[in-house]
Amino acid sequence: MGYAGYQSYLIDAEESADGKSVNYLPSEASRYNYRRAQWGGIHEFDFNVSFNFKDRFYAGLTVGCYDVSLKSGVVYGENIIGYDNGNRVDIGPYLMNSEEKLSGNGVDVKLGFIVRPIESNPFRIGFSVSTPTFYNLTQSNYLQMTSPWYDNGSATAYTEYEQDVIPIDYKLRTPWRINLSAATTIENILALDLEYEYANYSSTNVRYNTYDYYDSWDNGTRDYALDTEADECLKGVHTFKVGAEAKIAKGLFLRAGYNYVSAPHKQDAFLNLFTNSPSYLAATYTDYVNLGELHRGTFGLGYRGKHFYADAAYQYQTQKGDFYPFHYSSEGTITNDLAATSVNFKRNNVILTIGYKF
């Protein structure tokens, strides 16, 4: 990113009388514009097998396969301010257009157990563990910068720089996850369920297939710089789920649920672009969001017949966060001196499932 800014004359050295670089201009802007779009997703395919013993002990094994296809684009612009004999003047607009593509696949394994401790009581407890998801990913980026070519505070021309960043292949390992649950039914009319899950995202790990940029990095396979950033910026995430289902008529059920997920980022987390990680050789984005707690509420209606079944549900989700277009800190500090822009990600989902049992 810095190289692209230099090539497009976004930054230019101010030299002293003896030819030494003493400053970089311009350093201010009067207006800002930011737009981001994301599309694609992660498709999951599950293959499972399960059994039960005397309707008191249940076990299941699931192999999950993931197909990753994510794209995003960022447009960021500033109106550059310069100085002419100590006076502030408009130099002109700077514009950055960046596109990123992430593709690949992944796999994980989940193993779970459910036990009814008392034969005559419907109360049951469960435990499951999920291995890390092992992803093989490829990241590619495109960057375009347009900037005024200034001289003594005036724009004399506009320069443009384009770059297709060489794609980088890497392996991503997500954290282990553990899940505890308890459930029961009351008079075959009301069902209650409670779950807790924990995953320590600071243990996320990145490796490279054949990257030997730094010989000291375990033959170039493990990104210790990103490991350090994960330890400093991410933390353990706690997930709580509670749900209830009531039978209101023959074959007709009413459902409600609530889901809470704690914040994955530490309070002072930031995107550090000044590390020895080779992943930044393929990075063109400078923006980041420190996500807060996530809340989901669900309300639904279900029907169960001899063969046919249908479920309809409405889900509302909200999560706040602090958005930064880039990280700027004064000398000797690590916190971002830029004021955060508060964002609120709200989502309304309507889900319909129908099926037929033969």
Q: What percent of the chain stands above pLDDT 70? A: 83
How much is the average pLDDT of 260-277? 88
Q: Which amino acid is at 247?
A: K
337-348 per-position pLDDT tens digit? 778 889 999 999
State the average pLDDT for the chain. 84
Give me the pLDDT at residue 199, please. Answer: 96
Of 348, 259, 356, the closest CA to residue 309 belongs to 356
For the CA atoms of 16, 18, 22, 25, the dihedral, rounded to the nearest 10 degrees, stands at 50
Cα–chain-centroid distance for residue 241?
A: 21
DSSP 117: S
| pLDDT above 80 (res 81) | no
| Buried-state track 216-225, b at ≥16 Cβ within 10 A, e below 16 | ebeebebbbb
How much is the average pLDDT of 191-204? 95
Distance, in Å, from the CA atom of 48 to the CA atom of 277, rounded to the nearest integer, reads: 38
CA within 13 Å, CB half, 209: 8
- Is 271 in contact with 286 (CB distance < 8 Å)? yes
Q: Whole-model pTM?
A: 0.82
Distance, in Å, from the CA atom of 159 to the CA atom of 243, rounded to the nearest integer, reads: 58
Question: What count of other Cβ atoms lies within 10 Å of the Cβ of residue 249?
Answer: 8
Distance, in Å, from the CA atom of 160 to the CA atom of 10, rounded to the nearest integer, reads: 10
Q: Is the dihedral of CA 151, 155, 157, 161 positive or negative?
A: positive
- Residue found under tokens 């090539």: 7
| pLDDT above 90 (res 262) | yes
Of 317, 320, 321, the closest CA to residue 346 belongs to 317
Give me the pLDDT at residue 67, please. Answer: 97
| pLDDT above 60 (res 147) | yes
What are the DSSP calls for 61-81, one per residue? EEEEEEEEEEEEEEEEEEEEE
Please classify residue 287 by burial: count the beta carbons closer than 10 Å to its beta carbon, then call 0-12 exposed, 13-18 middle and 19+ buried: middle
pLDDT interval class at 13 (50, 70, 90): low
Q: Is 306 helix (H, G, I), strand (E, B) or coil?
A: coil
| pLDDT above 70 (res 141) | yes
Cα–chain-centroid distance for residue 221?
A: 23
| pLDDT above 90 (res 166) | no
- Is 329 in contact with 336 (CB distance < 8 Å)? yes
271-309 per-position pLDDT tens digit? 887 788 877 766 778 889 999 999 999 999 999 988 899
Distance, in Å, from the CA atom of 55 to the CA atom of 169, rounded to the nearest integer, reads: 47
Give me the pLDDT at residue 278, please. Answer: 76
| pLDDT above 70 (res 4) | no
Give me the pLDDT at residue 3, please. Answer: 61
